[in-house]
Structure 1
Amino acid sequence: AEEGDAAYGASHTSFYTDAVAKERYETLDEVLTRSLKDAKLQGMVRELLDACVKITEALRVNLVTVNDSSNTFGDTQLTVDVIADDLLWDLAKSSALVCEASSEEEPEIVKTNPEGQFVLCWDPLDGSSIVDNNWAVGTIVGIWDKSTGLIGATGRDQVMSLVTLYGPRTTVFMTLDDGVYEFTLGPGNEWICSRDKIQIKQDCKIFAPANMRAAQEVDGYAKLIDHYMTNKYTLRYSGGLVPDVCQQFTKQQGVFTNPTSKASPAKLRLAFEAAPFGRLVEMAGGKTSDGVSGNSVLDVKIEAVDQRTALAIGSANEVDRFNETVLAPVAA
């Protein structure tokens, strides 16, 4: 086997997949029964995945066109955004399990069923800027318990997070009691467990650098990018948060960086994007940084539904490198 830099090269077979075919794959129900003891959460997962099946179908048959409206953040809404959001609102308003919900498209907390147990926050279709290219996009969901609610809570208070990736296949990554699992949508719209107890290595050679404009102002970020290039890291960046972070689960390594500057302020939403991904990555052995203090993004208190944050997320040693290279010089 190759070692060192050669083992990371894009031509190396380990860069394509580490998955070995199995004779049989566990079903969603089998895994949930074993690895998610909360029966209500089991039901919530099933309802969310049913919605993601419908979103998959909508993406396959609907053309990407501009809708006659924009969301609260000023983003132009596309027809597929609206369809995905409507499907999730249909779920939230009809579910006996959801007491409150909020969408990135309209960031207000909406009370649904007072007898429900969970607060849902979702980005219905992250990656609107690349969906017209037919690139991979995704749905991001954070789930909090009604006992904490959302405002005043942190990402660490989530009881589960779940991210669905719509690419050539539809896959979903979720946090269960004993780790992070990947499920793949198979024939007959049945979900099978394609990876279990995913672990992200401490070191990596894959980088996904967002907000490159900030490197013009933040010397530390320019230095970090130069480190990646000089040390022959492999660039894997599409501009879509979901594929750019989810590759860490399939490659078992990687780092995504999104610092801020005066001219390039924070854009990622804490409740809708950073916190759900933070729970997934940290449960898989990775690390996060809030891009300001260097502490975990899961410890940032959610004080507003539309709160923004910087972010570094992925292999632990590379997040440490981000903190040391980008944040430490600023603090000094």
Structure 2
Amino acid sequence: MLTTLDAVPAGTRPDLASVVDRLAGLAAALARRIQRGGLDEALGASAGTNSDGDAQKALDVIADEAFLSALRDSDVRYYASEEQDSVVEANPAGHLALVIDPLDGSSNIDTNVSIGTIFGLHKAADTGEASVLRPGSELLAAGYAIFGPQCALVVSFGDVPVKYVLDPDTQRFRLTGPLPAIVPESTEYAINASNYRHWDAPIRAYIDDRVAGTEGPAGRNFNMRWIASLVAETHRILTRGGIFLYPGDARPGYQAGRLRLVYECAPIGFLIEKAGGRATDGVDPVLSLRPQQLHARTPFVFGSANKVARVATYHDLPRSETSALFATRGLFRSGT
């Protein structure tokens, strides 16, 4: 019986619906807690660092404990979170494995920027590690809750993603329907341009050709977006297309990218591909990557399929040719 979602798409597996419904209930409660940010200063206070060395907010820890506690009697056997050192057994009788970033973008709480929860569901294997250290293509479902002007839940139960909106009066998520396919044409790209000097040549060339606008090989002007919240960036791309890039770069600790494969990139990549987009590490499909450890990182490029494919072509060029303004090269004479 659903308690927070008002409906699920026809044919949805009951076990997946039950777990996502429980996650939705926790998301609704978390949304209320976040709205009290200015009234409860402790929520934005530092809580030290997590197992991967990243700074935590008190609300990161609160959210993680709430999700794990609520899943102790669910179909979730294994719980793999950004905030945990290793995979935790939630319910020995469960047959699913949950990967989750309980509060993505928590550093933005103080600035009132949209943040969210990212999750994915695998079939449980014999051990926690075997359950979650697997390619994203094996996910059964994935989604995110976004806490912004509108609290929404976007989830794929294995098919086209659907969107829910939280009704603040009833505290239930109302199904608004399936998302349309990601549009192929958009003049928006998202990247942290302050790291330009650290990028490899193919990424610099791709961005240079966007910056060149109508005078460059794309023959059109582009707008750059950078929210520094993966959930917010994903929500924008699902809504109006475009591309997001978080490449690896030359800085210590960033050579393999910064985003986590298991509980950030794989679930988001799953959603994007189910919506007709594409998600890669710059070259290879991110859903084909097999993580070697829970907190493994990867470069991440996702969005409109044609735009993501175009980034890969820049990596195929000989290094001597990877520079901007290929106005005479037919390969790059395109608005993508």
TM range, normalised to the smaller chain? 0.7 to 0.9
Match of 1:286 in 2: 277
* Structure 1 counterpart of 2:28, from 53, 56, 59: 53
Pair 133,326 (structure 1): closer, same or farther in 2 beyond 3 Å: farther
Secondary structure (helix, strand or coil) at the match of 1:150 reads: helix
* Aligned counterpart in structure 2 of residue 255 of structure 1, from 232, 243, 248: 243
State the shift of 1:329 in Å: 4.4
- Match for residue 70 of structure 1? 49
Q: Which amino acid aligns with 1:192?
A: R
**C-alpha separation in 1, matches of 2:158 and 2:117:** 21
Matched, 1:87 2:66: yes
SS state at 1:30 partner: coil
In structure 2, runs of 5+ residues without a counterpart are 214-219, 322-336
Measure, in 2, the Cα distance between the counterparts of 1:214 and 1:89. 39
What does residue 263 of structure 2 align with? Answer: 272
The 5 Å alignment of 1:121-270 reads 121-147=99-125, 149-186=130-167, 187-210=169-192, 212-229=194-211, 230=213, 231-251=220-240, 253-263=241-251, 264-265=254-255, 266-270=257-261
Structure 2 residue 288 is matched with structure 1 residue 310: no
How big is the alpha-carbon RMSD for the aligned residues of Structure 1 and Structure 2? 2.1
Which residue among 15, 31, 34 is the counterpart of 2:8?
31
State the Cα distance separating 1:115 from its structure 2 match.
Answer: 1.2
Q: CA deviation at 1:239?
A: 0.9
Which ranges of structure 1 fall in alignment gaps of 5 or more residues? 1-26
- Which AA in structure 2 matches 1:54? A
User: Which one-letter code corresponds to 1:323 in the other structure?
Assistant: A
Report the residue type matching 1:116 in the other structure.
G
Q: CA offset at residue 160 of structure 1?
A: 0.4
Pairwise CA distance, 1:206: 1.5
Aligned residues of 1:35 and 1:176 also touching (Cα < 8 A): no
Once structures 1 and 2 are overlaid, which stretch shifts more, 234-243 or 46-55? 234-243
Query: CA offset at residue 68 of structure 1?
Result: 4.0
Name the SS for the 2:161 alignment partner. Answer: strand
Specify the alignment match of 2:75 in structure 1. Answer: 97
Distance 1:314 1:169 in 2: 22
Stretch moving more, 53-62 or 257-266: 257-266
Q: What residue is the counterpart of 2:217 in the other structure?
A: none
Aligned in 2, Cα 1:103/1:203: closer, same or farther, shift over 3 Å? same
**Identity fraction in percent:** 26
Per-residue CA shift, 1:234-274, capped at 9, x if unaligned? Answer: 222211111011111122x1110111122133110000100
Q: Is the 8 A contact 1:102 1:108 kept in 2?
A: yes
Shift in CA distance, 103/178, structure 1 to aligned 2, threshold 3 Å: closer
Structure-2 change in CA distance of 1:279 and 1:211 (3 Å) = farther
Distance 2:138 2:300 in 1: 18
Q: How many residues align?
A: 300
- Given the superposition, is the C-alpha separation of residues 151 and 178 from structure 1 closer, same or farther in structure 2, using an over 3 Å criterion? closer
Q: Cα distance, 1:196 vs. partner?
A: 1.1
What TM-score does the superposition give when structure 1 sets the normalisation length?
0.84
Normalized against structure 2, the TM-score is what? 0.83
Residues 280-330 of structure 1: CA deviation (Å, up to 9, x unaligned): 000000001123xx1210000122101100011010111011111246446
- Structure 2 counterpart of 1:150, which letter? S
